Amino acid sequence: MPEKFTEIRLLDNFYQTSSFYPMPVVLISTLNEDGSTNLGPYSLCFPYVVTGGKEHSMLLITRPDSNTALNITRSKVCSINFIPDRKKYLKNCVLLGFPGETSAQKMKNSIFTLLPSTRSGPAPDSLNKYPDIVGESEQVMECTWDDSHPLKPIPSSNGCHLVLVIHKIIMKNKWKDALFKGKGFPRLPVDFGFRDNIQFWFSRHSKPCSIKIPNSKSASIETVYYACTRFDPDIKWEKEACAKIVKVPNIFLKRVINGVVEAAKKEGVTMITPEFMDKVQDKRSAEKKNS
């Protein structure tokens, strides 16, 4: 018998006062008015527009008077730096996260290495600069604030929500390899927030485990073959090609078939083979060949 639940009073900052909520830890680098770089630690920073749109973005929740918010709304640019889970980095994050200090006051205590941005071309700020990135990061998202995004301000909240369009993602070479091979993860910390008004709590990386979609969720090959062959009369399918998508959830099947058919037509292919499916499904195949 599972244990009983008990209700918890909802307080401000509920994610850290009234619950346990695992979050990422990032250092957001922004451009100060004098052209120097500020680093602000943040955890409420999540993927926002993830598919479909022409741009991909992150959402940041910050107080509106933080150095980070003021710098982003003025210069429009920032970088999201994912630092590894070493204790000395987390300790320094807590120091850089003490509210109310000017950038100059706090940045003299930073232990992080600032490297020039990898972005090129004119920047939106009158200084025509991008903020530095953190050399110790495993991965960095270089972003531009979408100030036209109709995210409504919440008058009773003293938080501000910034949509940060991802211009580019860079990472250390070994993680690019891991991403392409589907094997290995950087050691990124998990933040459980500032708790009891006393201290921040972090946990270190632990080895992720993989869990496959159960076979019971697979459609039968006959069903998928039926859907594929009826989709477009000009395109024929080998059964083995259909076998590659039996695990695609039914609600996405049409979209996947459409993607394959569009790719086939673009290349003048009229018979979908398993090899063609591999090529289409491997979104990174071109990059892999070049790496």
Ligand X SMILES: Cc1cc2nc3c(=O)[nH]c(=O)nc-3n(C[C@H](O)[C@H](O)[C@H](O)COP(=O)(O)O)c2cc1C
Closest alpha carbon to 36 in 94, 141, 110, 99: 110
Q: Which helix (H) or strand (E) holds 280?
A: helix 274-281
Nearest CB to ligand X, comparing residues 67 and 117:
67
Would you say 42 and 26 are in contact if contact means Cβ atoms under 8 Å apart? Answer: yes
User: To the nearest whole angstrom, how small is the minimum distance from the Cβ of residue 148 to ligand X?
Assistant: 23
Task: Identify the residue among 89, 130, 200, 237 touching ligand X (CB under 6 A).
Answer: 200
- The verdict on 29 binding ligand X (CB under 6 A) reads no
Q: Estimate to the nearest angstrom the gap between the alpha carbon of 100 and the chain centroid.
A: 28
User: To the nearest whole angstrom, how small is the minimum distance from the Cβ of residue 13 to ligand X?
Assistant: 9
Question: What are the contacts of 49-56 at 24+ separation with CB within 8 A?
Answer: 49/163, 55/146, 55/165, 55/166, 56/165, 56/166
Task: Identify the residue among 32, 57, 66, 117 touching ligand X (CB under 6 A).
Answer: 66
Strands 271-272 and 236-237: parallel
Q: How far apart are CA 87 and CA 190, in angstroms?
A: 12
Q: Which helix (H) or strand (E) holds 276?
A: helix 274-281
Task: Identify the residue among 14, 33, 63, 239 touching ligand X (CB under 6 A).
Answer: 63
Q: How far apart are CA 289 and CA 287, in angstroms?
A: 5
How many residues form the binding site for ligand X (CB under 6 A)?
19
Binding mask 76-105 for ligand X (x = CB under 6 A): -----------------xx--x-x------
Residues facing 199 on adjacent strands: 195
- The verdict on 31 binding ligand X (CB under 6 A) reads no
Binding mask 127-166 for ligand X (x = CB under 6 A): ----------------------------------------
Task: Identify the residue among 62, 75, 79, 81 touching ligand X (CB under 6 A).
Answer: 62
User: To the nearest whole angstrom, how small is the minimum distance from the Cβ of residue 19 to ligand X?
Assistant: 15
Nearest CB to ligand X, comparing residues 32 and 144:
32
- Residues within the interface to ligand X (CB under 6 A): 25, 38, 40-44, 61-63, 66-68, 93-94, 97, 99, 191, 200
